[in-house]
């Protein structure tokens, strides 16, 4: 029996972990035992517990309750806690998802005591090192033994960095194996889509009509913390709603919620609050989010996960970042990168309004990425 230790902490990691946990429970429970460590990076019920309840993820075996803090302090506390658990549990490997401080802490703790690292969502690059996530991903990939790239581009990025396309085992820190395997979030979207249709009432509850509203999310640190950018984003949202008489619903990340009143001009802040077409709501559950995505006319976001889900559910997407690591979305023509530029955002919206047909080619696998990953772990980790 393989003992596998999963590190989660931030909302998107909890959701990603659901895909593997589900497959372990249904197909590999005789071969893999999963120990889940929650770092506590996200801790509000609607940023954490709701996903365990709704997505049937086993209760974490450990919670480090690290909470919020500066990058250094938060990551250091996590490293200390994860190291202690690794020494006690002696797992065969550790699983890291994506690019958060929780992933980085797992990478540092495990690599120093030679626990093999499996990195899921490997190879993603924005080529912008001012983004904390870019540093985290490069560091995680650099010490991983099995690297699962969700897209062709991510796989190619690893090859460009010197990872071998083909090599033979046994695989190790010094002889890592890279795969192009599809995206576990695509697995999740397929699995939970029908359940969301059946269970979620959020569209009706918010008086939204199918295909007649915009879904927006904003949480990237540069967008929330830089007043010029945050003001430009909300000016664009306000104008689009008024000029098109379209509702815009914004499930708001706690980081953004805390900074709106501080970083928006007082005039814009009160305009947004009194604009009846703009509805700011608390973070929603994953099933609710899927329902909002599936029924929207268009999605505007700076989230990595949400821009992909827009594509999974065949919606055009305005990417509120200077660049994206999911370049395939832009190449397909269904997503436009506008950065936090008011006129570019409005231009993109106008373009999408006029577009009759979008292309959504198969870019993210066949919905079985988690199963593939489990099989490779069983084959290659001793
Ligand atoms: C983190 C990840 C980011 C990911 C995002 C997903 C890093 C460096 N960033 O960003 O890659 O896209 O999660 O949502 O790891 N807060 C609360 N309650 C919570 C969690 C956070 O109030 O449950 C507030 C705190 O004020 C905190 C702030 O949000 O300081 C930021 O949280 P943090 O986890 O540091 O970064 P995120 O912006 O969430
Ligand atoms: N999400 C959610 N509720 C929300 C906002 C997002 O369930 O209110 C989900 C979303 O569907 C996606 C994931 O959270 O699966 C994305 O997380 P986030 O945007 O916080 O982080 P990122 O993907 O940018 O790292």
Q: Tokens 């499930």 appear where?
A: 251
Told to judge if 180 belongs to the known catalytic residues of this protein, a careful annotator would answer: no
Task: Give the domain ranges of the chain.
Answer: 2-183+365-380, 190-354
The confidence score (pLDDT) of residue 106 equals 99
Summarised one tens digit per residue, pLDDT across range 119-158 is: 999 999 999 999 999 999 999 999 999 999 999 999 999 9
C-alpha of residue 306 to centroid of ligand 2, in Å? 6
Express each pLDDT in 186-231 by its tens digit: 999 999 999 999 999 999 999 999 999 999 999 999 999 999 999 9
Of ligand 1's listed atoms, the one at least distance from the Cα of 303 is 12
Mean pLDDT on 68-75:
98
Contact 298, 355 (CB under 8 A): no
DSSP-derived secondary structure letter, 170: S
Element (H, E) at 214: strand 213-217
pLDDT (0 to 100) of residue 98: 98
CA of 190 to the centre of ligand 1 (A): 26
Would you call 321 helix, strand, or coil by DSSP?
A: coil
Class of domain 2-183+365-380: alpha beta
Chain-wide mean pLDDT for the chain?
98
- Residue 287's pLDDT is 98
Say if residues 143 and 107 touch (Cβ distance below 8 Å): yes
Query: DSSP letter at 363?
Result: -
Confidence band of 115 (pLDDT split at 50, 70, 90): very high
Ligand 2 pocket mutation, candidates 10, 102, 292, 303, criterion most atoms within 8 A of CB:
303
Rounded Cα distance, 329 and 185, in Å: 15
Determine the atom of ligand 1 nearest the C-alpha atom of 98.
11
Q: What percent of the chain has pLDDT over 90?
A: 100
Check if 167 has its Cβ closer than 6 Å to any atom of ligand 1: no
Q: Which ligand is nearest to the CA of 48?
A: 1
pLDDT at 36: 98
CA 180 to CA 228: how far, in whole Å?
A: 39
pLDDT average, residue stretch 57-68: 97
Tokens of 30: 């005789």
The predicted-structure confidence for 234-264, as pLDDT tens digits, reads as follows 999 999 999 999 999 999 999 999 999 999 9
Q: Give 33's pLDDT tier (boundaries 50, 70, 90).
A: very high
Pocket test for ligand 1, best of 68, 69, 257 (most atoms within 8 A of CB): 68
Give Cβ neighbours of residue 28 (< 8 Å, ≥ 6 apart): 374, 378
Expressed in angstroms and rounded, the spacing between residue 255 Cα and the centre of ligand 1 is 6
Average pLDDT over residues 310-335: 98
Q: Tell me, yes or no, if the pTM score tops 0.85.
A: yes
Please work out, in degrees rounded to the nearest 5, the angle formed at the alpha carbon of residue 305 by the alpha carbons of 263 and 217. 30
Q: Topology of 190-354 in CATH?
A: Rossmann fold (3.40.50)
Task: Choose the residue to mutate in 254, 301, 308, 309 for probing ligand 1, maximizing ligand atoms within 8 Å of C-beta.
Answer: 254
Radius of gyration of the chain (CA): 20
pLDDT, position 232: 98
Q: Which two tokens stand for residue 357?
A: 């047909």
Does this chain's domain 2-183+365-380 share its CATH topology with 190-354?
yes
């Amino acid at each position: 029996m393989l003992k596998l230790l999963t590190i989660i902490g931030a909302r998107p990691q909890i959701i990603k972990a659901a895909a593997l946990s589900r497959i372990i429970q249904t197909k590999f429970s005789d071969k893999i035992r999963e120990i889940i460590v929650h770092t506590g990076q996200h801790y509000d019920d609607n940023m954490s517990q709701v996903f365990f309840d709704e997505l049937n993820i086993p209760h974490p075996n450990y919670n480090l309750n690290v909470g919020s803090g500066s990058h250094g302090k938060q990551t250091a506390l996590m490293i200390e806690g994860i190291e202690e658990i690794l020494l006690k549990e002696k797992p065969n490997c550790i699983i890291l998802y994506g690019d958060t401080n929780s992933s980085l802490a797992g990478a540092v703790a495990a690599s120093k005591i030679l626990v093999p690292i499996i990195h899921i969502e490997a190879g993603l690059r924005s080529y912008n090192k001012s983004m904390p996530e870019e540093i985290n991903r490069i560091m995680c990939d650099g010490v991983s033994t099995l690297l699962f790239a969700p897209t062709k581009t991510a796989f190619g990025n690893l090859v460009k960095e010197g990872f071998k396309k083909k090599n033979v085992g046994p695989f190790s820190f010094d002889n890592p194996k890279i795969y192009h395997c599809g995206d576990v979030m695509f697995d999740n979207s397929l699995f939970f889509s029908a359940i969301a249709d059946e269970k979620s009432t959020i569209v009706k509850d918010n008086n939204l009509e199918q295909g007649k509203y915009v879904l927006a999310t904003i949480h990237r640190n540069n967008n929330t913390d830089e007043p010029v950018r945050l003001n430009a984003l909300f000016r664009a949202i306000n104008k689009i709603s008024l000029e098109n008489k379209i509702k815009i619903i914004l499930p708001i990340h706690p980081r953004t919620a805390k900074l709106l009143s501080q970083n928006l001009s007082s005039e814009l802040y009160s305009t947004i609050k009194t604009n009846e077409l703009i509805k700011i709501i608390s973070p929603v559950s994953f099933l609710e989010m899927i329902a909002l995505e599936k029924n929207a006319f268009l999605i505007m976001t700076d989230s990595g996960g949400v821009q992909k889900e827009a594509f999974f559910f065949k919606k055009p997407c305005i990417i509120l970042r200077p660049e994206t690591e999911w370049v395939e979305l832009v190449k397909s023509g269904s997503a436009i990168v506008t950065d936090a530029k008011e006129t570019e955002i409005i231009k993109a919206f106008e373009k999408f309004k006029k577009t009759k047909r979008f292309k959504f080619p198969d870019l993210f696998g066949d919905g079985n990425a988690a199963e593939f990953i489990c099989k490779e772990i069983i084959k290659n980790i001793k």
